[in-house]
A = this chain, B = another copy of it.
Amino acid sequence: MQLARVVGTVVATQKSQRLDGLKLLILQPMGLDGKVGSSYVVAADAVGAGPGEVVLYATGSSARQTEATKDRPADAVIMAIVDTVEINDTVLYEKADEA
């Protein structure tokens, strides 16, 4: 899994029926310096994440192991909204600080 920040959305009406009802968010993977680069992933949202939030996402077949994504053609899923990230006993990110 990787940490990422939610930065955008994708809307598509012409799609596989298997995608119906899935919210698709654009994530930018976050480094251990707390910054995002230029790469991104489009992920299905299984937890009601919102713009700007730091989330955890999984890829591959593991992305289909939530209620929201079972049997869906989705290869990435947001399955947690992150509260705290700690590296070597130092807090890298705290959701409460951003509110």
Contacts and interface: CB of A to CB of B under 8 A. Distances in A.
Given A11-B82, A14-B47, A74 B62 contact: yes
Given A8-B85, A16-B79, A16-B80, 18 more contacts: A1-B43, A7-B32, A8-B32, A8-B86, A9-B85, A11-B82, A14-B83, A15-B47, A24-B56, A26-B87, A33-B38, A42-B56, A51-B88, A60-B61, A61-B62, A65-B73, A65-B74, A73-B77
B1 A80 contact: no
Interface of A: 1-3, 7-19, 24, 26, 28, 31-33, 38, 40-43, 46-48, 51, 56, 58-69, 71-77, 79-89, 92
B10 A3 contact: yes
